[in-house]
Amino acid sequence: MRIAAMRESLERLGRFDPQRARGRFVAGFDAAWTRHIVVDGQRVGFVVVRPQGDGLLLDHLYVAPAAQGRGVGAEVMADVLADADARGLRVRVTALRESAANRFYERRGFALVDRTEWDNHFERPACPRVPLGDAPHGTIEP
């Protein structure tokens, strides 16, 4: 599924090699942090979020091409960010430089923090939500 989801971006970079992609995935894969994405009883993707330093690493978020463009990834990302925010944790993610995923992450508050030959590295700080009932009154300043 990962290879199918990434194929277009990798081809655009001239780096589509299923063997290398599979090898990189297997080398860093940890099933303990993996969750399947299921829509209408069908597995359409998976997400891997694991602890990393003072935050979380969104290691993988893949939605099958046939299920893309329907808000599935956005809903999963909203859940990941809500969990991170509730725990006061930043989230890091890496995306291929030419991937549409870059815009997806930027629209969700991720900022580019580093760029390598093939990848963009993003980070989103924790955004804890303060319930209105807990907000201090009379503290608005210019």
In angstroms, the CA 105 to CA 94 distance is 10
In angstroms, the CA 130 to CA 139 distance is 14
Assigned domain for 141 exists: no
Assigned domain for 109 exists: yes
Model's pTM, two decimal places?
A: 0.74
Look at phi and psi of residue 129 and say left if phi exceeds 0, alpha if psi is from -120 to 50, else beta.
beta
Ranked by mean pLDDT, the top range of 2-11, 18-27, 68-77, 130-139 is: 68-77
Assigned domain for 137 exists: no
In the chain, how many domains are there? 1
Q: Please give the single-letter amino acid code of residue 41.
A: G
Number of neighbours of residue 37 by Cβ within 10 angstroms: 20
The residue range of the domain holding 110 is 2-128
Look up tokens 């090898």; give the residue.
23
Assigned domain for 140 exists: no
Provide the residue count of the chain.
142
Assigned domain for 121 exists: yes
Angle, alpha carbons 97-99-102 (nearest 5°) = 80
pLDDT tens digit sequence for 51-78: 999 999 999 898 988 898 999 999 999 9
